[in-house]
């Protein structure tokens, strides 16, 4: 996207559309900025009640202006209901409507004047709303069938912002490019993002950004390392597993290092405990945590953040076949603990447990955050707009929740309730991997916690509800959302 700024209305360049934001007042719309120059255009639609300023509503007017032949009145909803996310959502609604008009490719934007929210934040939020919704995944569509493809907006120009504010918008763009990168991976066919291909994608990041180094463990190395749980999940798969490690060293003077561990199940059939029809169709999303972990490293490197992070992604398919791991069998983890497999569909916690153990043994993290589409239970509990946060450290809990509030990737604090550890006891092994439906997302988190060393600050984000949407919503398109990357970059920027 070409993002520019001009200092005054007079200096603006030609564009396909000029955007004027409005509030919804008592039954009428009211300009959210001083825009007397265009009053003759919007006077009637506003006075007549044709345009009320409801959140996300757009009214197109055709003008005889030199620089734009169209004006869009954009509703921001009621002023008393204002929140930062209203700006993202309203401008996302604008983009959705604009993209359906195939002839609109460029916008001139006059900014709403909002008390308490600084001009630079307003611009950044608008930019985020526009960029997050200016995305579609068209790689699997037939080239000649242009019908099904919506054109992308190519250019936006802010009127009346300074260079520092424009730079902030450009930073948002760099960040959101990594969100696109993660969405593309998640939306891809499962077989086109095998562990090997995911590893290659990580190596590509390292080629582009010299401060990123990758290490890939293949099946042989995993066997040598005795990563018995990752190998067990991989048994039914046609493709070998991988442990993908991408390290970004952005602050060599610091010993702090955040490990970001992402579930990398490239497709989850459930294994021998096969998922039924209706539950399997979205399961290419099961590497969303891994995509977010690698996407965060990519974004941090692209932004040159002053921090050290290491992304760790245990990658495999959870497939069904003659060699699949079996319910009732016991496997030894990398950490040494043995696990009775009571359900082969509880595979995420198995691969994560080995990754957590490996990370602590070799990568010297000072704290760990894992992201995983881990349980259907979290979707039941929190729906599609909140991820579950499980954390053993108060400061980390607060910082992550604050970051999520800022980026609107909301986190809800869930309990690591000690007594439920009982449920994971096995008569023939040190633990079992699944404990039935009650408190399903809690017992999954407790399973992971058993592999975290005493004293290590650790957070687990269950993103099963938020990573992949069957319907587009606000600035999230259909399917992959890229959840977690903006949140973690926000978190890492303040530590």
121 has catalytic annotation: no
Closer to ligand BES by Cβ: residue 88 or 235: 235
Of 351, 346, 366, 365, the residue nearest 434 (C-alpha): 346
Closer to ligand BES by Cβ: residue 130 or 341: 341
Q: Hey, is 259 helix, strand or coil?
A: strand
The token pair at 189 is 């066919």
Closer to ligand BES by Cβ: residue 107 or 198: 198
Q: How far apart are CA 311 and CA 345, in angstroms?
A: 24
The token pair at 408 is 């609107």
DSSP secondary structure of 281-331: TTGGGGGHHHHHHHHHHHHHHHHT-SSEEEEEEEEEEE--STT---TT-EE
Choose, by CB under 5 A, the member of 184, 317, 340, 345 that binds Mn ion: 345
Closer to ligand BES by Cβ: residue 363 or 379: 379
Q: Which positions lie near Zn ion, rule CB under 5 A?
A: 265, 268, 286, 348
**In the bound complex, what is the minimum distance in angstroms from residue 191's beta carbon to ligand BES?**
18
Residue 268 in contact with Mn ion, rule: CB under 5 A: yes
99 has catalytic annotation: no
Choose, by CB under 6 A, the member of 346, 355, 403, 431 that binds ligand BES: 346
Residue 348 in contact with ligand BES, rule: CB under 6 A: yes
Of 6, 18, 109, 102, the residue nearest 68 (C-alpha): 18
Where does residue 404 rank: exposed (0-12), middle (13-18), buried (19+ CB within 10 A)?
buried
Phi, psi dihedrals of residue 322, rounded to the nearest 5°:
-60, -25
- Please report, as residue ranges, which positions from 457 to 486 form the binding site for Mn ion (by CB under 5 A): none
| Residue 389 DSSP code | E
Stretch that binds ligand BES, among 29-37, 48-56, 376-384, 478-486 (CB under 6 A): 376-384
Q: How far apart are CA 129 and CA 176, in angstroms?
A: 10
Exactly one of 89, 349, 432, 486 is catalytic; name it.
349
Q: How far apart are CA 258 and CA 265, in angstroms?
A: 22
Closer to ligand BES by Cβ: residue 76 or 464: 464
Q: What is the largest CA-CA distance in the chain?
A: 80
Closer to ligand BES by Cβ: residue 151 or 376: 376
Q: Hey, is 56 helix, strand or coil?
A: coil
Q: How far apart are CA 42 and CA 44, in angstroms?
A: 6
Strand partners of residue 61: 71
Closer to ligand BES by Cβ: residue 169 or 445: 445
Place of tokens 């009775």: 340
Residue 340 in contact with ligand BES, rule: CB under 6 A: no
Q: Among Mn ion, Zn ion, ligand BES, none, what binds residue 434 when CB lies within 5 to 8 Å by partner kind?
A: ligand BES
Q: How far apart are CA 71 and CA 18, in angstroms?
A: 5
Q: Among ligand BES, Mn ion, Zn ion, none, what binds residue 490 when CB lies within 5 to 8 Å by partner kind?
A: none
Choose, by CB under 6 A, the member of 84, 85, 347, 370 that binds ligand BES: 347
Choose, by CB under 6 A, the member of 345, 354, 409, 490 that binds ligand BES: 345
Q: Among Mn ion, Zn ion, ligand BES, none, what binds residue 472 when CB lies within 5 to 8 Å by partner kind?
A: none
Strand 458-462 vs strand 367-372: parallel, antiparallel, or unpaired? parallel
Residue 45 in contact with ligand BES, rule: CB under 6 A: no
**In the bound complex, what is the minimum distance in angstroms from residue 347's beta carbon to Zn ion?**
6
Residue 343 in contact with ligand BES, rule: CB under 6 A: yes
- Please report, as residue ranges, which positions from 439 to 468 form the binding site for ligand BES (by CB under 6 A): 440, 464
Exactly one of 275, 306, 423, 473 is catalytic; name it.
275
Q: How far apart are CA 29 and CA 47, in angstroms?
A: 8
Catalytic residues: 275, 349
Where along the sequence are the contacts to Mn ion (CB under 5 A)? 268, 345, 347
Where along the sequence are the contacts to ligand BES (CB under 6 A)? 268, 286, 343, 345-348, 373-377, 379, 434, 440, 464
């Amino acid at each position: 996207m070409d993002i520019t700024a001009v200092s005054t209305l007079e200096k603006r360049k030609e564009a396909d559309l000029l955007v004027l934001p409005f509030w919804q007042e008592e039954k009428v719309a009211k300009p959210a900025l001083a825009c007397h120059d265009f009053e003759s255009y919007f006077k009637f639609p506003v006075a007549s009640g044709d345009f009320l300023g409801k959140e996300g509503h757009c009214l197109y007017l055709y003008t005889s202006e030199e620089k734009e032949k169209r004006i869009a009145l954009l509703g921001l909803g009621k002023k008393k209901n204002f929140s930062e996310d209203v700006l993202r959502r309203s401008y996302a609604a604008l983009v959705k409507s604009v993209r359906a008009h195939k002839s609109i490719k460029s916008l001139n934007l006059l900014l709403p004047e909002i008390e308490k929210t600084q001009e630079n934040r307003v611009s950044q939020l608008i930019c985020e709303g526009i960029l997050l919704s200016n995305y579609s995944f068209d790689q699997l569509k037939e080239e000649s069938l242009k019908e099904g493809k919506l054109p992308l907006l190519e250019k936006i120009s802010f009127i009346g912002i300074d260079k520092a504010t424009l730079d902030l918008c450009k930073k948002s763009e760099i960040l959101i490019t990594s969100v696109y990168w993660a969405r593309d991976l998640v939306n891809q066919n499962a077989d086109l993002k095998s562990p090997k291909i995911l590893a290659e994608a990580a190596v590509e990041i390292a080629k582009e950004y010299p401060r990123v180094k990758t290490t890939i463990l293949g099946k042989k190395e995993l066997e040598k390392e005795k990563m018995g749980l990752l190998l067990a999940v991989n048994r039914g798969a046609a493709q070998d597993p991988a442990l993908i490690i991408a390290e970004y060293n952005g602050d060599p003077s610091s010993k702090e290092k955040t490990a970001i561990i992402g579930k990398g199940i490239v497709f989850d059939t459930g294994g021998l405990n096969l998922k039924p029809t209706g539950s399997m169709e979205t399961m290419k999303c099961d590497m969303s945590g891994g995509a977010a972990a690698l996407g965060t490293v990519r974004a941090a490197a692209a932004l040159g953040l002053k921090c050290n992070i290491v992304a760790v992604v245990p990658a495999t398919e959870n497939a069904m076949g003659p060699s699949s791991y079996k319910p009732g069998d016991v496997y030894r983890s990398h950490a040494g603990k043995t696990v009775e497999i009571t359900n082969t569909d509880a595979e995420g916690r198995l691969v994560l447990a080995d990754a957590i153990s490996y990370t602590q043994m070799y990568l010297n993290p000072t704290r760990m955050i894992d992201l995983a589409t881990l349980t259907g239970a979290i979707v039941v509990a929190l729906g599609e707009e909140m991820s579950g946060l499980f954390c053993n450290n108060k400061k980390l809990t607060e910082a992550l929740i604050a970051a999520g509030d800022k980026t609107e990737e909301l986190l809800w604090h869930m309990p690591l309730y000690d007594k439920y550890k009982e449920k994971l006891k096995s008569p023939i092994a040190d633990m079992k991997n699944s404990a039935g439906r009650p408190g399903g997302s809690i017992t999954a988190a407790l399973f992971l916690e058993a592999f975290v060393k005493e004293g290590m600050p650790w957070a687990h984000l269950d993103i099963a509800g938020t990573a992949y949407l069957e319907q587009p919503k606000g600035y999230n398109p259909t399917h992959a959302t890229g959840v977690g990357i903006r949140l973690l970059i926000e978190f890492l920027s303040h530590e």
